[in-house]
Structure 1
Amino acid sequence: MKYRGWILLSFMLIGFSAQADVAAGQQLHAQAKCLSCHAAQPYDREKTPTFDALVKRVAGCSQNFNTGWFDDEIRDVAEYLNREYYRFES
């Protein structure tokens, strides 16, 4: 019985840790100087029509510019951009 409780607690903690950290995303976005490339037309919903597409674009930028971001940091940046610019339904 106690073992099941620990398993449930573990899954709950994993779920909570999977939540994006918008403040961290904003900080990563600023540190990577993303607006140095995106300043003229910051972010465009026509080119990025869904949240999943946004995550893929952020991952592509991260790879192209060698940011070293982990998957959770890519998700944080995508969530920040979504709240600030795109406003996709979550």
Structure 2
Amino acid sequence: MKPIKITLLLAGCITSLPILAETTSEKLQMGRAFFNEGNCMACHASRPFASETSRIKNYPALNTMVETCNTNLGLGWFPDEVEAVSHFLNTHYYKLPNPALANED
């Protein structure tokens, strides 16, 4: 690969990092807002997230469970909102590898 192509590739990667961070930060804020709006702790206060008895063992299972709550409670969240809540829960409680973020790198 020519030096100019490598330089351009590195420059593109470096300049895209703030955009990814901003997107992740915005998703986290949106997830927190929907989590609070959905009054999720009304059900989950007595069953803390990420306990030893949790059935959630990977990120797709977490996302599916958030969608299940969305459907069962009639919250009306769109898929990107479900994903944002999943991201929020994962960041603050579960800390599972997120395949979607791995694909953004």
TM-score where L is the length of structure 2: 0.65
- Equivalent residue for 1:51? 59
Higher-Rg member (1/2): 2
Q: Which runs of 5+ in 2 are unaligned?
A: 1-19, 99-105
Quick one: distance in 2 between partners of 1:82 and 1:66? 22
Offset at residue 47 of structure 1 (A): 1.0
Verify: 1:22 aligned to 2:54, yes or no.
no
Gaps of 5+ in 1: 1-15
Counterpart AA for 2:73: F
Counterpart amino acid of residue 79 in structure 2? D
Q: Paired residue for 1:31? A: 37
Identity %: 29
Instruction: Give CA-to-partner distance per residue, 1:17-64, whole Å, 9 cap, x none.
Output: xx5501000000000100000001221363100000000000000000
Return the alpha-carbon distance in structure 1 between the equivalents of residues 67 and 89 of structure 2.
Answer: 13
Partner residue of 1:64?
72
Note if 1:80 corresponds to 2:65.
no
Greater RCO between the two (CA within 8 Å, min separation 6)? 1
Matched, 1:40 2:46: yes
Q: TM-score, normalised to structure 1's length?
A: 0.75
RMSD: 1.5
Between the aligned partners of 1:44 and 1:82, the Cα distance in structure 2 is 9
